[in-house]
Amino acid sequence: MRPRAWDVREGSGDMDDRPRGERAEERAVYIISVAAELAGVHPQTLRIYERKGLLRPKRTSGNTRRYSQRDIERLLTIQELTQDEGVNLAGVKRIMQMQLELERMRDRVRDLEEQLSRRPIVVPGRRGTGELVPRRSVLVFPWESGS
C-alpha cells in the first residue's frame, strides 16, 4: 500500500482558471478514456469512483472530465486497496481521509516542533527566580521546584 496521503478535493471548474503555481502532477490533462486506460480500469469505474466521492476530476467549461497525474496515482491506489487488500469502496474512502488527516497532523507537529526549538521559556522557581532555559531541558521534578 502506498504511504502517500490523498485529498478528497472538489473540482475546480474551468481548465483555464487553474492557479499559476499549480504543479505538473496536478494539471488535469487526461480525458476519461485515457485516464481509465492508464489506471487499467473501465471508464464507467471512474464515474462510479466519482459518485462515491473517491475522485473529483476537474471539469472543462464544456463540463468534460479531465484527470491529472495525481488522479491517476490515486486511481492506482484505489485499485491496489480494492483488488490486492480486499477493501471495499467505503473503506478506501475512509483510509484516504485518514491518510490526509495524518498528513495534516504531521505537518502541524513539524511546525510546532520548529516553533518550540526557536524559543526559550522561563521556568519559575528553577535555580533561583527564574531563568531562560532551552525547551528541551524543561523537565522539572516536584522536589526541584521549591514547592
Q: pTM to 2 decimals?
A: 0.61
Q: Which domains does the chain have, with CATH numbers?
A: 15-117 (1.10.1660.10)
pLDDT digits (tens, 9 = 90+) for 25-78: 678 889 999 999 999 999 999 999 999 999 999 999 999 999 999 999 999 999
Name the pLDDT band for 119 (thresholds 50, 70, 90). Answer: confident
Mean pLDDT of 78-107: 96
**Extended strands (E) in the chain:** 58-59, 65-66, 121-123, 131-133
Give the span between the Cα atoms of 122 and 133, in whole angstroms.
7
Mean pLDDT of 126-140: 57
Q: ∠ CA(39), CA(41), CA(43), 5° rounding?
A: 105
Q: Is the pLDDT of residue 12 over 80?
A: no
